[in-house]
Amino acid sequence: MNIHLIGSLFALQIINVFSKIPHSFAKTGHSNNWAVLVDTSRFWFNYRHVANVLSIYRSVKRLGIPDSQIILMIADDMACNPRNPRPATVFNNIKQHINVYGDDVEVDYRGYEVTVENFVRLLTGRLQPETPRSKKLLTDEGSNILIYLTGHGGNGFLKFQDSEEITSQELSDALEQMWQKRRYHEILFIVDTCQASSMYEKFYSPNILAVASSLVGEDSLSHHVDPAIGVYIIDRYTYYALEFLETVEPSSTKTLSEFLKVCPKHYCLSTVGVREDLFRRDPKIVPVTDFFGALRPIELTSNIVNIVDFNKSNKTFLSQSKEKYKLISQFPNFSQYS
């Protein structure tokens, strides 16, 4: 009896040890959020990919990532395509619930700028010095990055606009460069293509959680056709991901493990692949908003410095002087010279 009791106590102890996650892992260490959203295909029959990427764009923006921290790479040839019966809209649903094009879409890389080279340059930070800030990924070792890719893929590659492709090796090397350069804290990598899981198989850098809409050998299927548009309008995985994200609020406590289950096999028809071994926190306790939102940690400022003999600088500034402003003529008067 005694032995039994001690045994069960011991077992309880063990359970306790394993269920207790270290405090530092449960708490996030990130200080800012970024999103890199890429649609690698173009032309009208790929309408669904644009709807995919804009669905995610809409969600991260709604949940608080500012446009300056979202890099959106799409061909952007749908909203104003002559075949679009409702110009300036992109819908994710035949019932036209949600116009994912929204009111303000800020595309950073447009049209033929969506290339493998630009994508890798963006990730590794090797851009021309004259590149505007909106096209740069200015992350540091405290940044959580959401990378979402959609397009046409095969085993081990993802096609970029019919002319080139990025291999899974290239992608994982680029991510490793980012890690070595301390350009991220954690990455949530989502890819919605055929044979998507082949894209993350070669990853070897830490702190990456990868999700793929289909396993190797499977096709990632589209959700439904809108006869008015004439083509498939969204892919299954992203359709259900958006459905889930629409229920998330900036303050909500939904976790990543719930997000990983948004598309079970009878919805997606393909198997959603997840790679967790590189990620060091438990998805069950990581809030979705660690990647899809932008909640910055805050601290109350407690010890206000006390400053004695506190004088402002003696410099005079233009704004303080009592200068009168007057209108001057737009063109110089040359009459005095002639």
Partner 1 sequence: MTDQEINDVIGHDSPMDQKCRIYASISFAVLLLGVGLPLWWETTAVPRVAIPYVGIRALDDLELHIHVRFLLGCLDTKNSQQLADELMQRLMDARFADIYRISLSHFGTTNTSIARAKTLDDLNKAAAGFQLNHGDILVLEAPAGLGENLIHVTSGRSIYFAQNTDSAKIAQVLCQWIYRDAALTLTKNALTEPTEYSLDVVNRRRFPVSSNYDVLLTVVNPEPELLQVDRNFSHIAQDYIDPFLEELSIIADFSIKSQWLYFLPLGVKPKEVPANNKFGRYFALSEDILPQVITPLEKKLASQVSLYPTINLVAYMVPCKSAPLHIFSRNGRRVNEKLDLEPFHSPRWGGIVLINPSAEFCKQAKANKIFKPPVNITTKVFLTHLRLLLGIPDKEEISRTSMAELSGLKPRDWEVDDLLRMRSVEQLTSAKLTLQSLARLLREISNIVITETVGGRIMRALELIELSAKLLNEGDLKGGFLASKEAFVMSEAAFTDPSLLALLYFPDDQKYAVYIPLFLPIMIPVLFSLKNIKNYLFCSDQV
Q: Does 309 bind partner 1 (CB under 8 A)?
A: yes
Distance CA 194, CA 268 (A): 12
In the DSSP assignment, the letter for residue 63 is T
Interface with partner 1 (CB under 8 A), residue total 59
Residues 6+ apart with CB under 8 A from 267: 236, 240
Q: Smallest Cα–Cα separation from 220: which of 245, 198, 187, 251?
A: 198
Residues 228-247 that bind partner 1 (CB under 8 A): none
Whichever of 1 and 305 has its CB closer to partner 1, that residue is: 305
Asked if residue 338 binds partner 1 (CB under 8 A), the reply is: no
Q: Which of 155, 180, 252, 253 binds partner 1 (CB under 8 A)?
A: 180
Q: How far apart are CA 237 and CA 239, in angstroms?
A: 5
Helix axes 236-245, 47-62, angle to 10 degrees: 20
What the block records as the tokens of 289 is 């908003």
Q: Is 152 marked active-site? A: yes
Rounded to whole angstroms, what are the CA distances from 104 to 101, 111, 258, 289?
8, 18, 29, 22
**Catalytic member of 194, 223, 263, 268:** 194
Select the residue interacting with partner 1 from 79, 94, 107, 120 (CB under 8 A). 120
Shorter beta-carbon distance to partner 1: residue 95 or 312: 312
List the one residue from 140, 258, 276, 282 that touches partner 1 (CB under 8 A): 140
* Residue 268 a catalytic site member: no
Pairing of strands 231-235, 222-226: antiparallel
Length of the chain: 338
Backbone angles phi, psi at 238, to 5 degrees: -70, -30
Q: Determine if 103 is a binding residue for partner 1 (CB under 8 A).
A: no
Q: In the stretch 157-176, what mask flags binding to partner 1 with x, by CB under 8 A?
A: -------x------------
**Which listed residue (1, 299, 326, 331) binds partner 1 by CB under 8 A?**
299
Give the residues lining the site for partner 1 (CB under 8 A): 24, 29, 31-32, 64, 66-68, 115-117, 120-121, 124-129, 133-134, 140-142, 164, 177, 180-182, 206-207, 250-251, 280, 293-313, 315, 317, 319-320
Residues carrying an active site annotation: 152, 194
